[in-house]
Amino acid sequence: MSSFYGEVNKENDIYILMTSYQLLISLLKIKTINRDTLLLIDSNISEDVLIRLKKEEAFKEIEIKSDSDYFSLKKPWFTKLEKKKFLKFINCFKNINIFIDHFNIGHILNKYEIPYNLLEDGYNVFQFKSQNFMDRIFTKDFYFQDYKDLIKHLFFLKTSKPGFGKYCQSIEVNDISVVPKDERYNKFKEVPRKELFKNITEERKQLILRVFDVEELSEVKDNSVLVLTQPLSIDGLMDSDDKQYGFYKRICDKYLSEGYEVYLKPHPRDSVTYEKMNGVKLIAQSVPMELIEMVSDVKFERIITHSSTAINFLTCGKEKEVFYDFNTQEYDEKLLEKYKINKDEL
């Protein structure tokens, strides 16, 4: 395990994250520029964004690590020296902030009894029933990645869902009224995301826009629609990239044939390429849609998504359509009929 365990001021915080959305929330939350530490675990954040982030010196230290640096099936425990270095380092921070605690480094924090704060990984995600490999076990939907996750879970004997870890001290959410009233309830703390955006200084806003290289959407016509993609095949909601591509193409083709301008915003984790969709205008994949809305005074006729929670945050659409409900795990039959999509094809 390579080391970056340098000197840390005990008044500093650390943010442990993986995605562009998590980076955005961290940049909104840090109180002082060039003070806190950023630890990226198996990050899918683009190299260009990371280069600009380092240039802006928003964080005092930025380190990129692999999941296997902390545990893997081949190396499921630390050597004594690694453990000593890690514990000395991580215990130096005033606050440890993490977005996903039910696997990866979250298991390590609980294993070594290190208190941390959990930040909501998405807009109101706790309103949806959390389903993972433990829910799919012994069903036809149990797939290869689930076996790996199950082995890790059994080995570490840790929780498989967010916020249940013994050393999770608080869970920051956008809206406490939609969270489940289970054993985690007293940990929930409401910090509205719109307030985070509203309360930042102009200097912080400009820093964030530079980091993500956000461009204003200009010349968007009144008869325009926005399609938000998701990594459906990666997340097991569709069984192939071709099906995912076909799903979004069907939606785009409908509006193109009706004379609409169609904008498509690929999710940051989406591995499918959409350049071959003739007539569709692509929005930068690496930029969270929340930021594009921040700098663009546009109003789409309609925003369409498979099941993205980001759509609930956005106000740039007159109408919103969501195909799939995570709670019921059912498709909206009226939308499938409207777009002439056969559920058996998904």
56-96: per-residue pLDDT in tens? 999 999 988 876 665 543 345 556 777 778 888 889 999 99
pLDDT > 70 fraction of the chain, expressed in percent and rounded: 84
Q: Is 0.85 surpassed by the pTM of this model?
A: no
The highest-confidence range among 81-90, 271-280, 306-315, by mean pLDDT, is: 271-280
**How is the chain split into domains, by residue range?**
13-212, 224-345
pLDDT of 139 higher than 60: no
More confident site: 346 or 169: 169
The three-state DSSP-derived secondary structure of the chain is CCCCCCCCCCCCEEEEECCHHHHHHHHHHCCCCCCCEEEEECCCCCHHHHHHHHHHCCCCEEEEECHHHCCCCCCCCCCHHHHHHHHHHHCCCCEEEECCCCCCHHHHHHHCCCCEEEECCCCCHHHCCCCCHHHHCCCCCCCHHHHHHHHHHHHHCCCCCCCCCCCEEEEEECCHHHCCCCCCHHHEEECCHHHHHHCCCHHHHHHHHHHHCCCCCCCCCCCEEEEECCCCCCCCCCCCHHHHHHHHHHHHHHHHHCCCEEEEECCCCCCCCCCCCCCEEECCCCCCHHHHHHHCCCCEEEEEECCCHHHHCCCCEEEEEECEECCCCEECHHHHHHCCCCHHHC
Task: Indicate the range of 145-159, 169-183, 276-290, 302-316 predicted with least confidence.
Answer: 145-159
Average confidence (pLDDT) over 266-293: 91
pLDDT of 131 higher than 50: no
pLDDT of 335 higher than 50: yes
pLDDT of 12 higher than 80: yes
Instruction: Tell me the pLDDT band of 41, cut-offs 50, 70 and 90.
Output: confident
Secondary-structure class of domain 224-345 per CATH: alpha beta
Instruction: Tell me the pLDDT band of 148, cut-offs 50, 70 and 90.
Output: low
